[in-house]
Each structure stands twice: as C-alpha cells, then as structure tokens.
C-alpha cells in the first residue's frame, strides 16, 4: 500500500469519526426540531417517534401567538446593540492603554484587573442589586447596559495580547504623518484588530442573547422582558406544552446559528491568531 493511499484512508477515517461525533452532538437539536412538529399525543408515544408522520407546522404559529415574541425580540436586540457597542469601545480603549502607554503601576493594575475574573458572579449579585436599587435603576435596562461601558477583563486581556503583537512602528509612522492617539487607534489599529473584535462581538451577542439571570433580576414589567425570560414565562403560562416550547426555542436558536455561520472565518482565525501570537 502506497503512502498516498494510506493518507487517503487516514483522512477518510478521520472525517468519518468527526461526522459520527457531529451527528451525536446534533441529536438534541434534531429531537427539539422533531418535537416542535408533534402533537401533544405524539410526544408521549412509546416507543418514541423520532419524526412525526404528519408534521404540525401550526405549532410555530401557535407558539408565537400566545406571547408577544415580537416585543421580546425588539427588547433583546436593543440590549444587544448598546451592550456590544459598550464592550467594543471600552475594551478597545482600555486594551490600547495597557498595551501602548507606559506608566507607573501599569502591570499591577493589569493583574488586578485580571484578578477580578476570579470573583464569582454570584458574589456580586446582591451588592449590585442593592446599588442599582438605590439608584432607582430597577425595572430599567440601565443595570444591564451601563456595566458594559466599563470593560470586561477577559475581552481586555484578549485585545491587549493582540495589540502587543502589532509593531509600534505603525504608531510611529502615523505620528510622523500628524495623527494623534485616537486617530492611530481608529485608522491604523482598529482595521488590524478585526479578528479580536469579532470574538468580542460574537461572544457578547451570545452572552446577552442567552442571559436569563440579569433580566430576571432587574426587569419587572412584562413588556420589557427579553427572549430568555419570555421563554421561561411562556412555559409557566402555557403549562409546559413541550411541542410549542420547542417550536419557539427552534426559532430563537436561528439568530445564534446565523451569527456563528457569518463570523466563523474571522472567529476561528481570531482565536487561532490570539493563541499563537498572544
């Protein structure tokens, strides 16, 4: 057997193994999709029916008819816009300062910032609620949006490590042309930072989209609920009709799949480059 044939067999075996693993990972999603097309009676058949003989597409209409999902989607996208904007702007500025400016105590401040990642979110949950309650921010979006404009330690770390790999000669050349610090950051460095910015945008989008605890704690008015809280309330109000819940969950999952599909090249490339250069 030639070396080329052995390589083809090895590649075929690898692809077959990865395909089997991918199929196993897709089983929950496929089961959710099949359940979304079943009637109440078909859900509890034994042995279970993987795919309904007569798919009931009406479940999708019924699921979105009994709850204001259009309002939930609007609220979620509003939060997405302001939180992503805050994370991108704040983390970029903080990382730029840590990577380009030399000042006394820079390394100490950087490690103190990293140390905040060791604090569990549950520890700060009650103090933050008391603080925002005294500021009369409860039942508003401010407790969810404003913290994003003070940076995120993990994103700052990623951005700073990426900036450290960019030669400072670019900064010097821009200064010779008369650019100030903000112009250097915006016109020279930001275009190069696209992979790391993609990571921040995608991870922030996913975090806000799936966030249940934050909106549950700070939002009281049903008209202000996000998709995560709306789905939970939909379960209780509908008496846990799993076929309708799976229909709503399938539709809610689509934006996450789309953003990962659109950004996968920059996302994977950004993670790989950060791992190599950082």
> What is the tens place of the pLDDT at every residue in 214-247?
999 999 998 999 998 988 876 665 567 778 888 8
For residues 103 and 122, state if they share a domain.
yes
pLDDT for 172: 87
For residues 247 and 133, state if they share a domain.
yes
Does residue 272 register a pLDDT over 80?
no
Does residue 78 register a pLDDT over 90?
yes
Nearest to 87 by CA among 145, 43, 24: 145
Distance separating alpha carbons of residues 79 and 73, to the nearest angstrom: 10
Q: Hey, how many other C-beta atoms are within 10 angstroms of the C-beta on 135? A: 12
In the listed set 59, 80, 97, which residue is the last one of a domain according to the structure? 59
For residues 129 and 234, state if they share a domain.
yes
**Residue 50 Cα distances to 13, 21, 36, 38, 41, angstroms:** 28, 19, 11, 10, 14
Q: Taking all residues of the chain, what is their mean pLDDT, rounded to a whole number?
A: 86
For residues 118 and 155, state if they share a domain.
yes
For residues 68 and 83, state if they share a domain.
yes
Q: Hey, how many other C-beta atoms are within 10 angstroms of the C-beta on 203? A: 17
Q: Cα 87 to the chain's mean position, in Å?
A: 12
For residues 145 and 17, state if they share a domain.
no
Query: Which of 34-48, 147-161, 174-188 has the largest mean confidence?
Result: 147-161
Structure tokens at 118: 């060791």
Mean pLDDT in residue range 146-164: 92
- What confidence tier does 207 reach under pLDDT thresholds 50, 70, 90? very high
Higher pLDDT, 65 or 154: 154
**pTM for the model:** 0.83
- What confidence tier does 268 reach under pLDDT thresholds 50, 70, 90? low
233 φ/ψ angles, rounded to the nearest 5 degrees: -70, -35
Structure tokens at 123: 């520890």
Mean pLDDT in residue range 129-153: 94
Instruction: Report DSSP state, residue 149.
Output: G
Does residue 4 register a pLDDT over 60?
yes
pLDDT for 249: 85
In the listed set 12, 40, 59, which residue is the last one of a domain according to the structure? 59
Does residue 52 register a pLDDT over 50?
yes
pLDDT for 273: 54
In the listed set 44, 59, 74, which residue is the last one of a domain according to the structure? 59
For residues 179 and 73, state if they share a domain.
yes
Expressed as residue numbers, the domain containing 34 is 3-59
Q: What is the number of domains present in the chain?
A: 2
For residues 50 and 66, state if they share a domain.
no
pLDDT for 277: 46
Query: Which of 108-112, 160-164, 245-249 has the largest mean confidence?
Result: 108-112
Mean pLDDT in residue range 98-124: 91
pLDDT for 271: 53
Structure tokens at 96: 């730029």
Distance separating alpha carbons of residues 233 and 269, to the nearest angstrom: 39
For residues 45 and 84, state if they share a domain.
no
Does residue 278 register a pLDDT over 80?
no
Does residue 259 register a pLDDT over 60?
yes
Mean pLDDT in residue range 267-274: 56
Distance separating alpha carbons of residues 137 and 158, to the nearest angstrom: 31
pLDDT for 236: 61
What's the number of CA atoms in the CB half-sphere (13 Å) around residue 237? 12
């Amino acid at each position: 057997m030639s070396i080329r044939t052995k390589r083809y067999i090895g590649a075929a075996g690898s692809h077959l193994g990865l395909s089997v693993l991918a199929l196993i990972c897709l089983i929950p999603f496929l089961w959710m999709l099949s359940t979304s097309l079943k009637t109440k009676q078909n859900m509890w058949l034994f042995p279970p029916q993987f795919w309904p003989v007569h798919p009931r597409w009406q479940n999708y209409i019924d699921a979105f008819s009994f709850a204001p999902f259009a309002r939930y989607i609007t609220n979620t996208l509003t939060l997405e816009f302001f939180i992503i904007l805050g994370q991108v702007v704040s983390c970029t500025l903080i990382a730029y300062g840590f990577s380009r400016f030399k000042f006394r105590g820079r390394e100490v401040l950087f490690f103190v910032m990293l140390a905040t990642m060791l604090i569990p979110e549950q520890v700060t949950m009650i103090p933050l609620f008391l603080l925002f309650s005294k500021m009369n921010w409860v039942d508003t979006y401010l407790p969810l949006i404003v913290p994003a404009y003070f940076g995120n330690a993990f994103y700052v770390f990623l951005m700073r490590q990426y900036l450290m790999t960019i030669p400072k000669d670019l900064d010097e050349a821009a200064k010779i042309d008369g650019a100030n610090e903000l112009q250097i950051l915006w016109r020279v460095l930001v275009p190069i930072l696209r992979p790391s910015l993609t990571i921040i945008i995608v991870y922030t989008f996913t975090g806000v989209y799936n966030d249940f605890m934050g909106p549950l704690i700070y939002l009281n008015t049903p008209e202000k609920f996000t998709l995560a809280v709306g789905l939970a309330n939909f379960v209780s109000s509908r008496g846990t009709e799993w076929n309708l819940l799976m229909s709503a969950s399938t539709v809610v999952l689509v934006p996450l799949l789309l953003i990962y599909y659109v950004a996968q090249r920059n996302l994977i490339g950004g993670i790989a480059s950060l791992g190599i250069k950082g």
